[in-house]
Amino acid sequence: MAKQDELVFGIHAVTELIKRAPERFIELFLLKGRDDERLKPIINLSRKYGIPAQMVNRKVLDDKTKGEQHQGVVARVKPGKSYSEADLDDIIAQAEQQDTAPFLLILDGVTDPHNLGACLRNADAAGVHAIIVPKDNAARLTATVRKVAVGAAETVPLVQVTNLARTMKQLQQMGVWIIGTAGETDTCLYDVKLSGPMALVMGAEGKGMRRLTREHCDQLVKLPMAGTVSSLNVSVATGICLFEIVRQRQPLLS
């Protein structure tokens, strides 16, 4: 595999990518002997777009994915578009052109690819316009992330920025209100107005937000925790917070 090529695996991830960008596909590897209802749409799409496909045994797929759950399908593709802070102006402008208040998710140092994939899936479901992550000390868009995101990696831009605090300041100058989650605050998520241009900041697994990130938030909130567990998995907490924002924005969308 050429250095710049990427692997995509998993039924949902591969299906969504074929639908959106068939021109990126170089070759497709399918599990020999498997032609069930879940794999047939991929086989039909590959034929429609002339994507070379070959049937291989399970070991070939296992070796390519280093033992990850590939669901019997692996694709080698050309790299897709990468997003940086230079794209944020366009992302926000497009949201405003659609008469929708910009809605962003900032992940400060989330390093687990499964958590990033789950956050992408949450973000897609909630209508988030982009996820912003720092270039360093954060999970990148890998095949594992794409599989966990079940197609959402193709619909939600993942914007990598060199300086997260500076990017947050730029967003504030564009009228985006930045709300961060932190256990030490007394303000509950459900007691805060969350409509309008909004960016939600979620901290890293275990550590939470870095000090500089926290200082650049306009407001800090926490989730009410009634049990003995002190915190939630970051993707679970992200889903709860995003959909509270969705709930409050709903009249604006209807």
Give the side-chain half-sphere CA count within 13 A for 143.
22
Query: What pairing do the DSSP bridges indicate for beta strands 6-9 and 73-77?
Result: antiparallel
Task: Give the pair of three-digit tokens for residue 53.
Answer: 């496909």
Give the side-chain half-sphere CA count within 13 A for 114.
5
Query: Is 203 annotated to bind ligand?
Result: yes
Query: Is 72 annotated to bind ligand?
Result: no
Using CA atoms, how far residue 78 sits from 3, 52, 81, in Å, is 10, 14, 10
Query: Is 30 annotated to bind ligand?
Result: no
Task: Give the pair of three-digit tokens for residue 254.
Answer: 């209807």
Task: Give the pair of three-digit tokens for residue 244.
Answer: 């509270």
Please tell me the distance from the alpha carbon of residue 122 to that of residue 202, in angstroms, as a whole number. 13
Strand partners, 14: none
Per the CB < 8 A criterion, the answer to whether 99 and 125 are in contact is: no
DSSP H helices in 149-222: 164-173, 211-215
Please tell me the distance from the alpha carbon of residue 74 to that of residue 62, in angstroms, as a whole number. 10
Per the annotation, binding residues for S-adenosyl-L-methionine are: 203, 223, 232
Per the annotation, binding residues are: 203, 223, 232
